[in-house]
Amino acid sequence: MSAEHLEHLFGLRGKVALVTGASSGLGIEFAQGLAMAGADVAVLARRLERLQEVAKQLETFGVRALPVAADVCDVTQIEAAVQQIHDTLGPIDILVNNAGVAPVGRAERHALAKWQQALDVNLTAVFTCCQQVGTQMIARGQGGRIINISSVLGEGANAVHHTVGYAATKGAVTNLTRQLAVEWAAHGITVNAIAPSWFPTEMTTDPRLGRVHESQQARMELFTPLGRLGQPGELLGAVIFLASPAASYVTGAILHVDGGWRAW
Ligand SMILES: NC(=O)c1ccc[n+]([C@@H]2O[C@H](COP(=O)([O-])OP(=O)(O)OC[C@H]3O[C@@H](n4cnc5c(N)ncnc54)[C@H](OP(=O)(O)O)[C@@H]3O)[C@@H](O)[C@H]2O)c1
């Protein structure tokens, strides 16, 4: 296949993307993937210094990058962020809802505050970001791409960690994705989700050890037909594909990137 064919299928030059939760972990990889394919990328989270470093790195791909400090739970901050991105990079063509939290605690004594935090960040903020950006996409009339970062736990329970709020909200994000795909298909907006299994990040690292806990890793590997955790770079193709012209007829899909976790 020629470079021209590849560009035609997967090229994102001239597109503007917003990736939430891009100050660490998977969000950085999603931003890198979109930048590699040629999109200008706004990276949003609360830790501005981290975002500034990420943005510098994205610029090495020859694209424009904009760090935006905002809390996804604050609708006013998201409104302002979307406006800032519009004024600086242009209207958003691709939204990746990646910001997330995974509060841990046994269900029977899970503090309501932790439950609420999972709901606020993992679900309500995904909806409000979709609403803010989706409204602009609808008004502009040129379609768009929304990619929600769910989890394999959107479709099954977590037998390794006690994360009741996380599992509940990821299940909701998976079905929110399908609902928006149906409602916004008429506007040419595709809405899909990526459902990763376990990738080492701040979220999955034991803060006391500074790495993934061995016993948890062994259990995760046991549940994974490919027998290992996800590695850096293994989500790049999924985000580029769903954002690209190649996926123009793909909507309402949940793309598992999970070493086969959901296959059995
Ligand atoms: N790692 C995995 O194995 C795995 C598996 C399946 C799904 N996922 C999903 O992938 C996504 C990224 O997770 P990760 O593993 O990369 O975790 P991570 O390294 O902890 O990153 C979480 C990101 O979310 C941002 N964030 C959290 N609360 C926020 C808020 N209120 N406002 C704005 N940004 C906020 C954080 O930035 P600030 O703290 O700077 O705000 C950070 O950039 C999550 O949705 C997670 O559920 C991860």
| 7 pLDDT more than 90 | yes
Residue minimizing CA distance to atom 47 of ligand 1 = 100
In three-state secondary structure terms, 27 is helix
How far is ligand 1, taken at its centre, from the CA of residue 23, in Å? 8
Question: Residue 101 C-alpha to ligand 1 middle, in angstroms?
Answer: 6
For the annotated catalytic residues, the residue numbers are 166
- pLDDT for 160 equals 86
Going by C-alpha positions, the residue among 55, 62, 71 that lies closest to residue 13 is 62
Average pLDDT of the segment spanning 220-246: 97
Which architecture, in CATH terms, is 3-263?
A: 3-Layer(aba) Sandwich (3.40)
* pLDDT grade for 264, boundaries at 50, 70 and 90: confident
Report pLDDT digits (tens) over 72-112: 999 999 999 999 999 999 999 999 999 999 999 999 999 99
Judge whether residue 205 has pLDDT over 90.
Answer: no
User: Looking at ligand 1, which residue's alpha carbon is closest to its atom 20?
Assistant: 203
Give the binding-site residues of ligand 1, using a 6 Å CB cut-off: 20-27, 45-47, 71-73, 98-101, 121, 149, 151, 196, 198-199, 201-204
The whole-number average pLDDT for the span 225-245 is 98
pLDDT at 158 over 90: no
| AA identity, residue 258 | D
Residue located nearest, by CA, to atom 19 of ligand 1 = 25
Judged against a pLDDT cut of 90, whether residue 161 lies above it is answered with no
Where does the pLDDT of residue 59 fall: very low under 50, low under 70, confident under 90, or very high at 90 and above?
Answer: very high
Q: Best substitution site from 46, 82, 96 to test ligand 1's pocket, by max atoms within 8 Å of Cβ?
A: 46
Q: Across all residues in the chain, what is the average pLDDT?
A: 96
CA of 186 from ligand 1 middle (Å) equals 31
> Which pLDDT does position 211 carry in this prediction?
84
Distance CA 127, CA 124 (A): 5
Question: Residue ranges per domain, the chain?
Answer: 3-263
Whether pTM exceeds 0.85: yes
Q: What is the secondary structure of 121-155 as a DSSP string?
A: IIIIHHHHHHHHHHHHHHHHTS-EEEEEE--GGGS
